[in-house]
Amino acid sequence: MPTLQTKHTIEEAIDTLYADQSFLPELKAERRTQIFESGKEILTTTDKIIKSYIRVSRDNGSVVRIPAYRIQHNNIAGFYKGGIRFSEGVNEEEVENLAILMTLKNALHKLPYGGAKGGVVLDPKTFSDRELYLVSKKYVHRFAPDIGPEHDIPAPDVGTNEKIMDWMVGEYKTIHPGENYLGSFTGKSIENGGACGRREATGKGTFHSYSWLLTQWLRKKVEEGTSFKNPLKQKQFEGLKKLLEKSDQGESITVAVQGFGNVGSVAALEAYHCEELRHKVVAIGDYRVTLYHEEGLNIPRLAEYMKDHGVIPATPEELKLAGIEAELKDRSAILTSDVDVLFLAAIENQITQDNMNEIQAQLIVEGANAPIAQEADRFLHEQGTVIIPDILANAGGVIVSYLEWKQDRVTQLFSEEQVFAEMNNYMVSTFEEVFERYFGRDYETIRKTCYTQAVGRLLSLLYRHGKLY
């Protein structure tokens, strides 16, 4: 039950803040208890869950009613914000969990947004363009009273893209003639008010969370001769140092990337082209296959193939067509590859109790949301594996969405350079706080550090708005 796990982690973060007398120090004794309990009530419950059915005529003449959701978790930090997913696996529990993660992610990176998520239960690969167009229009029609540029701003997620956002904005404009409509959705095409670099933002940001940790934070700590009293943190520090030394001594850090879509393909390209660290991307995988090559895969060529085919080559014939040399392995092999760094950029719940013992990477970066189940997360952490959690690593997309929403208010486009510079500013200021706090203070895991920081911001806002009593 991922939602229960997320809510439990929020409660733990609130307990940590409760015990920290420097947080909201004016609250004492019974009043402190009451206010923090009230915060728990609010942040572990969801503001609004809307479920509806979208009626669509299929190309074969049949008419289907498809379940669709918009779930708004909390808006204390600003308008609700979060993607819309088109996937067969969509269900209320998953959408709610993703909405909560959005509230936390936005709070962690100090964006002026709350958290929401949407979903439609369909496999977009089995729907024609005409059918997807109808689903998109009807989604907006159904949820129109609950979305808008100053209320709830959706964006693309798994199975949706800029074309779908453009259709959705078109429908929003029709429903609200004469009103501001550009900021009602982000992740649109550039011609339609989208931000330069939005597609690459999450992958670039995910890679940056890892490269910044090694090349900025770690290098500085090594130069300062830092060591940590906590044996686990020292073990993690030593593990990271080995990676940096490997690269500095001319060897390559080996990398595997699960998922080769918007996030994974860009993260893999960033690793391939990175100048500050030497990498070999030895494995990539998608929903069909794992490709492995000990000497490193030709990632630019695979990205080109992906652009044309929507999948990576999965048979000897397809490998030949793509001009790629690789061993073909089954799709789950990617997770247990013998590599230094593993990027998870596919879907939820990939590392679980079933495979956690076989994970070999020293460092795992969560480009996807919630790809590691709770037990596996604890187990890997206790082994000394460093995990850069989703709400820290994959915020590039929502940060650039925020820039898109801002530029749509003044109808003036930021350049790609401005977009990535601003995205990096937001992310680096969060990385600095999180890594410093995790290694330098008593926080148990990097994930808990992130949650505590995010929840601290939300509690403080709730308290100042007079919502806790």
Residue in this structure with the two tokens 């003449």, named with its chain if needed: 61
DSSP string, 43-95: HTS-SEEEEEEEEEE-TTS-EEEEEEEEEEEE-TTSBEEEEEEE-TT--HHHH
Among the listed ranges 47-55, 218-226, 280-288, 404-412, the one in contact with ligand NAD (CB under 6 A) is 280-288
Q: Which of residues 191-230 bind ligand NAD (CB under 6 A)?
A: 202
Rg (CA), the chain: 22
By CB under 6 A, tell whether 101 contacts ligand NAD.
Answer: no
Q: Which of residues 379-438 bind ligand NAD (CB under 6 A)?
A: 394, 397
In the complex, least distance from residue 83 CB atom to ligand NAD, rounded to whole angstroms: 7
Helices (H) and strands (E) in the chain, counts: 16, 12
Q: What CA–CA distances, in Å, run from 26 to 17, 98, 437, 463?
A: 13, 33, 23, 11
- Name residues whose C-beta falls within 8 Å of residue 265's C-beta, 6 or more positions apart in sequence: 203, 299, 302, 303, 306
By CB under 6 A, tell whether 369 contacts ligand NAD.
Answer: yes
Would you state the torsion angle of the CA atoms of residues 412, 267, 443, 425, taken in this order, to the nearest 10 degrees? Answer: -30
In the complex, least distance from residue 260 CB atom to ligand NAD, rounded to whole angstroms: 4
Cα–Cα distance measured from residue 102 to residue 255, given in angstroms and rounded to the nearest whole number? 27
x-or-dash string of contact with ligand NAD, 151-180, rule CB under 6 A: ------xx----------------------
By CB under 6 A, tell whether 285 contacts ligand NAD.
Answer: yes
x-or-dash string of contact with ligand NAD, 302-331, rule CB under 6 A: -----------------------------x
Contact between 426 and 109 (Cβ < 8 Å): yes
In the complex, least distance from residue 208 CB atom to ligand NAD, rounded to whole angstroms: 14
Rounded to the nearest 5 percent, the helix, strand and coil shares of the chain are 55, 15, 30
Which residue of 256, 368, 386, 403 would you call a contact of ligand NAD, by CB under 6 A?
368
Q: Give whichever of 307 and 465 is closer to ligand NAD, judged by the CB atom.
A: 307
In the complex, least distance from residue 351 CB atom to ligand NAD, rounded to whole angstroms: 12
Q: What is the DSSP letter of 265?
A: H
Here the tokens at position 133 are 């167009």
Q: Give whichever of 346 and 403 is closer to ligand NAD, judged by the CB atom.
A: 346
Burial of 315 (0-12, 13-18, 19+ CB in 10 A): exposed
By CB under 6 A, tell whether 372 contacts ligand NAD.
Answer: no
In the complex, least distance from residue 369 CB atom to ligand NAD, rounded to whole angstroms: 5
Which residue of 346, 351, 363, 399 would you call a contact of ligand NAD, by CB under 6 A?
346
By CB under 6 A, tell whether 233 contacts ligand NAD.
Answer: no
Catalytic residue among 81, 117, 138, 221: 117
Which residue of 115, 124, 148, 261 would you call a contact of ligand NAD, by CB under 6 A?
261
Cα–Cα distance measured from residue 121 to residue 295, given in angstroms and rounded to the nearest whole number? 40
In the complex, least distance from residue 298 CB atom to ligand NAD, rounded to whole angstroms: 17
Residue 138 a catalytic site member: no
By CB under 6 A, tell whether 287 contacts ligand NAD.
Answer: yes
In the complex, least distance from residue 359 CB atom to ligand NAD, rounded to whole angstroms: 15
Q: What CA–CA distances, in Å, run from 163 to 55, 60, 171, 191?
A: 21, 23, 13, 11
DSSP-assigned beta bridge partners for residue 279: 253
**Catalytic sites, residue numbers:** 117
Interacting residues toward ligand NAD by CB under 6 A? 157-158, 202, 258-264, 285-287, 331, 345-347, 367-369, 394, 397
